[in-house]
Amino acid sequence: MEHEEGYERLLSFAEDGTPENGEAAVDVSARYSSSKTTTFSYAEDDNLYYLRQHGGLYTDGNNNTQICVTNILILRTNVSHIRGDTEGRLDIRTTGTGSGYFACGGKYIEILWSREGEADQFEYTLADGTPLVFGQGKSYIGVVPNDAEVIFE
């Protein structure tokens, strides 16, 4: 994919993206719905979070290995059932602003997210407006309802 001239990437990466002054996030649990909770377990030896969901390992269907990531983003937003839909589909707001969490290196912090339009990039910042810096590696982005339970231990 080629970007238009003047395209600016809004994400920043560092070799170690562990949040300064972050709180413990060795085990993270995010409840997306009554039928889905994803858990993340941090392994200090390789600085990765290993994912589980639906009571088992969350695995890559191509090679049957457990999914692991460097960065976890859990974004809070408005989630509702689509009126009149009989298939259980959801209306999930992904524009405007919201709050969330960022975990990396066994620690987490609260963050803010924003996105003007559906074709625009997400922007992630700390509470003071400083841009969020990710760790180099794979990232997991989850979107939960504003009232969803997210546990950090």
Report residue 55's pLDDT band, with 50, 70 and 90 as the boundaries: confident
More confident residue, 98 or 37: 98
Sign of CA pseudo-dihedral 15, 17, 20, 22: negative
CB 89: neighbour CB atoms within 10 A?
Answer: 9
Report residue 8's pLDDT band, with 50, 70 and 90 as the boundaries: confident
CB 68: neighbour CB atoms within 10 A?
Answer: 20
Q: For residues 49 and 104, give the distance between their C-alpha atoms in angstroms, rounded to a whole number.
A: 8
Assigned token pair, 74: 């859990």
CATH of domain 13-152: 3.50.90.10
Q: For residues 46 and 62, give the distance between their C-alpha atoms in angstroms, rounded to a whole number.
A: 22
- For the chain, give every domain's residue range: 13-152
Q: What is the pLDDT of residues 100-151, one digit of tens each?
A: 999 999 999 999 999 999 999 999 999 999 999 999 999 999 999 999 999 9
